[in-house]
Amino acid sequence: MRIFGSYTFICVLSFLLSITSCKGQIESKPAFNGISTIKKNYFITQYPQEFFSVQCALQDKAGNMWFGTGGNGIYVYEARPGDSGKEQSFLNFTHLDGLKHDDILCCMEDKSGKMWFGTRNGLIIYKPSGTIPSKKDFSNVLIMANVVNASDHKKVPYIYHTADNFVWSIMQDKNDKIWFSTNNGIYTHVPGDFGENGIPLFIPFLENATIQNKDSLHLKDVLSMLQDKKGNIWFASGYMKGEGIVCFDGTSLTNFKPDGISFFRSIIETRKGDILFLNPFKGIYSYDAQQDDSVGQGKSFSNYTEKIGLKKDTILAMFEDKNGNMWIGTNSDNMWDGGIGGAWRYDGHSLKLFTTKDGLSHNCIFCIKEDKDGNIWFGTRLTGLCRYDGKSFVDFTDR
């Protein structure tokens, strides 16, 4: 069995983009019952359609919903004023519009309203110039390390490393610094800090000599980063490097491997302050930050999915909505207990499963996001996208 998701692509040795269309920016077409759907391109022709998915999402300050996909670029669901109850349409931006790559691994809107998209070939930056997203607002940036000479502490010319530009995760901390996790380690950028050539300055995190790193951690292939309410920064190591969970308290790095697990896919913090770490095969692990304020030796980790009674499904996504419900997205090809996939909702008392029979676009779920109106969006395999309003689903997938 293969688990299709962002982290599986690290085993791919080569990648070629096949340009199969001469069209530029694409707007969605009306489909069934007048509902607009996303337009699929499948530019990466050497992969079967099962590899393609909607794998990250955000809602910007203007109310637009943004979705990053594997192989189909970026989709924007516009928040344009319209007739009451009328569905808005999607815009699609791809390499044909100048994007660096069509495989969007992560996305983040910074405090200034600028959006950052991580790809397998650098960063895409979106800086809005108007109310409607336009291809002229996108620019591409490669991470180039601004190395500091250890002897005289002076900056030396930019050094470009190809491995640095497989960008898995992006985060902005409480001091506005932006963090990027790459195949070759963690980099940071202070907004407004540019070099002489106008390229943002990226500083290798571990080259800071003041960081205490007793385990000689490399922090390469970190799939997810999070700063908790106390200011600690957490890193989830991917499968290839297997450094488990790492916490940075501002001074030192502490390594955890609960139950001996060496890789995790994502991190979230709950409303109660617990930190959750997702391993696709072993479930979700909870770190009880209230119980262990000092970030101790891992004694506060417990298996969250076992606690709530979820069977051993292959888990790909987790999200807590504003009402405190926990949503857990699974794979449709579960290796445990013959599960069928779908989305589990845990309300603190009981579990409820939603599948394609309820309106999901696909039973393999890669990302879950809530919008300002309380709707829950699900990004799935086969570039599937649907929205749940608490009563029913709207499927935006082009069939």
Can you tell me the distance from the alpha carbon of 57 to that of 380, in angstroms, rounded to the nearest whole number?
Answer: 11
103 in Cβ contact with 116 (< 8 Å): no
4 in Cβ contact with 364 (< 8 Å): yes
| CA-based torsion, 307, 312, 317, 323: positive or negative | negative
Ramachandran sector of residue 122 (left: φ over 0; alpha: ψ -120 to 50; beta: rest): left
Give pLDDT, residue 154.
Answer: 59
Please, which residues have CB within 8 angstroms of residue 308's CB and are 6 or more apart in sequence?
326, 346, 351
163 in Cβ contact with 182 (< 8 Å): yes
User: In whole angstroms, what separates CA 70 from the centre of its chain?
Assistant: 12
What is the pTM (predicted TM-score) of this model? 0.85
Edge-first strand order for the sheet with 266-269 is 266-269, 275-279, 283-287, 301-303
Can you tell me the distance from the alpha carbon of 142 to that of 26, in angstroms, rounded to the nearest whole number?
Answer: 26
From the list 121, 155, 122, 125, the residue with the least C-alpha distance to 138 is: 125
Question: Mean pLDDT for each consecutive 10-residue tract of the chain (399 residues)?
Answer: 37 28 37 61 73 94 94 87 59 93 96 96 93 92 67 55 80 97 93 80 90 96 96 94 95 96 96 94 87 52 94 90 97 69 96 96 96 96 95 90
Instruction: Convert 219-232 to b/e letters by CB count within 10 Å (16 or more is b).
Output: bbbbbbbbbbeeeb
Give pLDDT, residue 199.
Answer: 79
Give pLDDT, residue 87.
Answer: 58
CA distances from 292 to 164, 174, 267 (A): 34, 22, 18
173 in Cβ contact with 233 (< 8 Å): yes
Can you tell me the distance from the alpha carbon of 170 to that of 148, in angstroms, rounded to the nearest whole number?
Answer: 23
Can you tell me the distance from the alpha carbon of 12 to that of 45, in angstroms, rounded to the nearest whole number?
Answer: 14
The DSSP output letter for 39 is P
Most distant CA atoms of the chain, gap in Å: 68
135 in Cβ contact with 25 (< 8 Å): yes
